[in-house]
Structure 1
Amino acid sequence: MNRTRTDRQRDLRGKVVVITGGGRGIGLATAGRFADAGARVVVGDLDADVAARAARAVGGTHRAHGHALDVTDRASFAAFLERAGEHGPVEVLVNNAGIMPLGPLGEQSEESIDRVLDVNLRAVITGTRLVLPSMAAHGRGHVINVASAVGRVGMAGGAVYSASKFGVVGFSEAMVGELAPLGIDVSCVLPTVVATELGAGVSPARGMRPCTPEQVGEAILGVAREPRFETWVPGYAKAIFHTSNALPRRARDLLSHLMHADSSLTDVDTRARAAYEDRAAR
């Protein structure tokens, strides 16, 4: 008898799912999706109170738990995962934490550059290394890295952010080869502009609409149920990328200009982003 799509999906009920940067935006929406699917969700956020509120919002005190987590501090990350492990072996790690300060490279401080790379890239490497021993011992696990469309298409105005997300994609591709023999899946989710505080003041390319945190969370849940390496949100953005990437450079640049994609991260509403930029800097 043929198996249905539902039969092939992984059952997440009772599985421990860890989400970094889970107190707001994509992370919070993702936590809600996993909690609704019956998973035991552990939310990490730099602000312990925000993490606790998020956990209560998505799963009460039984299905979700929130703890302080500084993804740039290895000891903090290790302690967070140890607490998560009290609920059972970590089956899914969603490396979601990220920051996106915008502006020309020459105006970006060294401190800002270091923080973007530490939060967006190095933390993904750290988290993966830390869950690896347990997942390998159990012969199963799934690392889902939230990258970005600009992890495939570099954009002026967000050079360091783009570099960090390119790094996440490259790291993830390498990890597929290393971890598949151990029974561990690795996936990347690449959202375009998302209607969150991080995306405040940023306009999507012509013909595209901002996606919602819930759409991204649903995509991450879908990847956890049916692992695959690369998932774009919205899905049609992948076709646009591959079509334009097949063009000669001049044609690709012209298309990007006609779609206003080349100015998406330079022509931003700085007043709309002010609160986010201040929080990201701190």
Structure 2
Amino acid sequence: MHISPSQRPRRFRRSRRINPALPGAVVAVTGGARGIGRATAEAFRAGGARVAIGDIDAELADKAVAEMASTPGPAVVGLPLDVTDRSSFVTFLDTAEHELGPLDVLVNNAGIMPTGGFLDETDSTTGQMLDINLRGVLDGTRLAASRFVSRGGGMVINIASLAGVAGIPGLVTYCASKHAVVGLSEAAYRELRNTGVHVAAVLPGVVRTELSAGAELPPWLEGFTTVDPTDVAEAVVHAATTRKPKLTVPTRLGALLAVASLLPPGAQQLLERFTRLDTAFLHADPQARATYHNRLPGVR
């Protein structure tokens, strides 16, 4: 575990109306050692928040914290976290609060995206996707919201996907998990909005990370659908500051998918072929995907 600066802040009571992007807020990010998670942690820290990074790869989390701590800013701590283990999640939140103070924001970012044919998918792969992408988000949302309700306020931001409002060949179980995250976020937002607890979902398109490597999209479409992790991080901070319940990244892609959903099935099929979304993930470059797939726990 690594914390910077070395002097830990005193615990204190905070206002239920605190803006979580302002200095003094405490933010916890799951899957925070790389990609969207790390960019999000850096964005909140740049806004003055103290940040706890949780990741299954504790060594990588420590490395990320050491690199972040090389620049001036609020405290940042790296902690081990297995989102599929509820007790690990409880320990992560408890330790983050012990080190940094009462939590204001939880960003449920941890997720995996194996690609390939649905009929070829193993039970192990299916189970891992559902455990990490869905159960981890359910547990995190419930655990954080329980703390927030007793304090009169707090925020949970769930990283979903635009695959959570669309159906993409080669991503059947991933789409199922992200549809569920969108649904749970919308329902929890409505159920908890009168308690002072805010729940939001951020839906990125194709993000330039290892997770989406090898997708065979036309160059012209990549410019329209693809974003950087920092773009998603900005949207997460924006969701925290504006308290909007749902944001898409990029906005134009969310609008396109909404329009496409209104087309008749035949027209939708033609659009999928034109954009190559019918094969982009179903027949993704196996060599480009190998590094990512090989490090996923339980995925075969």
Counterpart of 2:284? 268
Paired residues of 1:121 and 1:164 also in contact (CA < 8 A): yes
Report SS of the residue matched to 1:44.
Answer: strand
Distance in 2 of aligned mates of 1:41 and 1:89 = 11
- Higher mean C-alpha deviation, range 107-116 or range 243-252: 243-252
Q: 2:79 aligns with which of 58, 67, 71?
A: 67
Distance in 1 of aligned mates of 2:283 and 2:258 = 25
Structure 1 counterpart of 2:285, which letter? D
Counterpart of 2:239? 223
The C-alpha deviation readout for 1:177-212, integer Å capped at 9, x for no partner, is 111011111111111111111111113465233211
> Structure 1 residues 10 and 71, CA, compared in 2 at 3 Å: closer, same or farther?
closer
Normalised by the length of structure 1, the TM-score is 0.93
> Structure 1 residues 11 and 156, CA, compared in 2 at 3 Å: closer, same or farther?
closer
Paired residues of 1:31 and 1:58 also in contact (CA < 8 A): no
Counterpart of 2:24? 14
Measured after TM superposition, the shift of residue 10 of structure 1 is 5.7
Equivalences for residues 58-207 of structure 1 within 5 A: 58-59=68-69, 62-86=74-98, 87-204=100-217, 206-207=220-221
Measured after TM superposition, the shift of residue 62 of structure 1 is 4.8
Report SS of the residue matched to 1:261.
Answer: coil
Distance in 2 of aligned mates of 1:165 and 1:63 = 32
After superposition, the CA RMSD in angstroms is 1.7
Structure 1 counterpart of 2:261, which letter? N
The gaps in structure 1 that reach 5 residues or longer are 1-8
The gaps in structure 2 that reach 5 residues or longer are 1-18
> Structure 1 residues 116 and 10, CA, compared in 2 at 3 Å: closer, same or farther?
closer
Structure 1 counterpart of 2:68, which letter? V
Paired residues of 1:44 and 1:66 also in contact (CA < 8 A): yes
The C-alpha deviation readout for 1:78-104, integer Å capped at 9, x for no partner, is 000001111222111100000011111
Distance in 2 of aligned mates of 1:92 and 1:150 = 24
Distance in 1 of aligned mates of 2:130 and 2:286 = 22
Distance in 2 of aligned mates of 1:166 and 1:201 = 23
Q: 1:28 aligns with which of 31, 38, 46?
A: 38
Measured after TM superposition, the shift of residue 264 of structure 1 is 2.1
> Structure 1 residues 200 and 138, CA, compared in 2 at 3 Å: closer, same or farther?
same
Q: Give aligned-pair identity as a percent.
A: 42
Measured after TM superposition, the shift of residue 142 of structure 1 is 0.9
Paired residues of 2:39 and 2:230 also in contact (CA < 8 A): yes
Measured after TM superposition, the shift of residue 151 of structure 1 is 0.6
Structure 1 counterpart of 2:221, which letter? G
Paired residues of 1:139 and 1:182 also in contact (CA < 8 A): yes
Distance in 2 of aligned mates of 1:77 and 1:266 = 33
Report SS of the residue matched to 2:295.
Answer: helix
Counterpart of 1:4? none
The C-alpha deviation readout for 1:19-66, integer Å capped at 9, x for no partner, is 000000110111110110000100000011111222222245952111
Structure 1 counterpart of 2:90, which letter? A
Paired residues of 2:48 and 2:74 also in contact (CA < 8 A): no
- Higher mean C-alpha deviation, range 257-266 or range 23-32: 257-266
Report SS of the residue matched to 1:174.
Answer: helix
Structure 1 counterpart of 2:119, which letter? G
Residue 56 of structure 2 is aligned to residue 46 of structure 1 = yes
Distance in 1 of aligned mates of 2:253 and 2:128 = 28
Structure 2 counterpart of 1:37, which letter? G
